[in-house]
Amino acid sequence: MASAPSLKQRECREPLYDIHPLTGISIEVFYSDRTLETFGRGGGGWFWWSRRRGFSPDGPATGPFATSYAAYRHALGTNLGADPDSTSNYQIISVG
Protein backbone atom coordinates (compact mmCIF):
# COMPACT_ATOMS: atom_id res chain seq x y z
CA MET A 1 0.00 0.00 0.00
CA ALA A 2 1.37 3.42 -0.92
CA SER A 3 2.14 5.78 1.90
CA ALA A 4 0.77 9.29 2.14
CA PRO A 5 2.99 12.03 0.64
CA SER A 6 5.41 13.60 3.07
CA LEU A 7 5.30 17.28 4.00
CA LYS A 8 8.28 17.96 1.71
CA GLN A 9 6.52 16.33 -1.27
CA ARG A 10 3.39 18.40 -0.62
CA GLU A 11 5.46 21.61 -0.49
CA CYS A 12 7.13 20.72 -3.80
CA ARG A 13 3.73 20.26 -5.41
CA GLU A 14 2.18 23.55 -4.36
CA PRO A 15 0.39 25.32 -7.23
CA LEU A 16 1.93 28.38 -8.85
CA TYR A 17 -0.14 31.38 -9.88
CA ASP A 18 1.02 34.08 -12.28
CA ILE A 19 -0.34 36.62 -14.76
CA HIS A 20 0.55 36.36 -18.44
CA PRO A 21 2.67 39.45 -19.25
CA LEU A 22 1.00 40.17 -22.61
CA THR A 23 -2.66 39.37 -21.97
CA GLY A 24 -3.15 39.82 -18.23
CA ILE A 25 -4.87 36.43 -17.96
CA SER A 26 -4.14 34.43 -14.81
CA ILE A 27 -2.17 31.20 -15.19
CA GLU A 28 -2.37 28.36 -12.68
CA VAL A 29 0.29 25.62 -12.75
CA PHE A 30 -0.54 22.62 -10.57
CA TYR A 31 0.37 18.98 -9.97
CA SER A 32 -2.23 16.31 -10.58
CA ASP A 33 -2.15 12.54 -10.53
CA ARG A 34 -4.58 11.14 -13.07
CA THR A 35 -4.06 7.49 -12.13
CA LEU A 36 -7.47 7.15 -10.47
CA GLU A 37 -9.22 9.31 -13.06
CA THR A 38 -7.96 7.21 -15.99
CA PHE A 39 -8.15 3.79 -14.25
CA GLY A 40 -4.37 3.41 -14.18
CA ARG A 41 -3.65 4.46 -17.78
CA GLY A 42 -2.47 7.99 -16.96
CA GLY A 43 0.13 9.12 -14.51
CA GLY A 44 0.94 12.20 -12.52
CA GLY A 45 2.45 15.37 -13.82
CA TRP A 46 2.29 19.14 -13.96
CA PHE A 47 -0.59 20.85 -15.75
CA TRP A 48 -1.61 24.43 -16.43
CA TRP A 49 -4.76 26.29 -17.34
CA SER A 50 -5.78 29.87 -17.75
CA ARG A 51 -8.58 31.46 -15.81
CA ARG A 52 -10.07 34.87 -15.40
CA ARG A 53 -10.42 36.21 -11.87
CA GLY A 54 -13.59 34.95 -10.25
CA PHE A 55 -14.36 32.44 -13.02
CA SER A 56 -13.72 28.75 -13.52
CA PRO A 57 -10.95 27.68 -15.95
CA ASP A 58 -11.40 28.55 -19.63
CA GLY A 59 -11.00 24.91 -20.69
CA PRO A 60 -9.33 21.63 -19.81
CA ALA A 61 -5.87 21.59 -18.28
CA THR A 62 -2.87 21.33 -20.61
CA GLY A 63 -0.31 18.68 -19.75
CA PRO A 64 1.12 16.60 -18.24
CA PHE A 65 4.63 18.04 -18.09
CA ALA A 66 7.60 16.55 -16.24
CA THR A 67 8.27 19.70 -14.19
CA SER A 68 6.36 22.75 -13.04
CA TYR A 69 8.88 24.89 -14.93
CA ALA A 70 8.14 23.09 -18.21
CA ALA A 71 4.40 23.64 -17.72
CA TYR A 72 4.98 27.32 -16.86
CA ARG A 73 7.19 27.92 -19.91
CA HIS A 74 4.61 26.24 -22.14
CA ALA A 75 1.88 28.49 -20.73
CA LEU A 76 3.95 31.60 -21.41
CA GLY A 77 4.61 30.40 -24.96
CA THR A 78 0.90 30.49 -25.82
CA ASN A 79 -1.05 33.60 -26.74
CA LEU A 80 -3.89 32.98 -24.19
CA GLY A 81 -6.50 35.06 -25.91
CA ALA A 82 -4.22 37.79 -27.24
CA ASP A 83 -4.63 39.16 -30.73
CA PRO A 84 -2.21 37.06 -32.83
CA ASP A 85 -0.75 40.22 -34.39
CA SER A 86 0.07 41.69 -30.97
CA THR A 87 2.17 38.70 -29.93
CA SER A 88 4.10 38.30 -33.18
CA ASN A 89 6.63 40.94 -32.14
CA TYR A 90 7.60 39.08 -28.96
CA GLN A 91 9.84 36.08 -28.55
CA ILE A 92 10.31 34.10 -25.35
CA ILE A 93 13.98 33.40 -24.71
CA SER A 94 15.12 30.92 -22.08
CA VAL A 95 18.11 32.14 -20.10
CA GLY A 96 20.38 29.63 -18.47
pTM tops 0.75: no
How far apart (Å, rounded) are the C-alpha atoms in residues 20 and 48? 12
SS3 of 10-62:
HHHCCCEEEECCCCCCEEEEEEEECCCCCCCCCCEEEEEEEECCCCCCCCCCE
What is the reported pLDDT for 63? 87
Per-residue model confidence as pLDDT tens digits over 1-10: 455 556 555 5
pLDDT of residue 91 exceeding 90: no
What is the reported pLDDT for 7? 53
How far apart (Å, rounded) are the C-alpha atoms in residues 88 and 68? 26
Per-residue model confidence as pLDDT tens digits over 32-80: 887 766 676 777 889 999 887 778 887 888 988 999 999 999 988 887 6
pLDDT of residue 90 exceeding 50: no
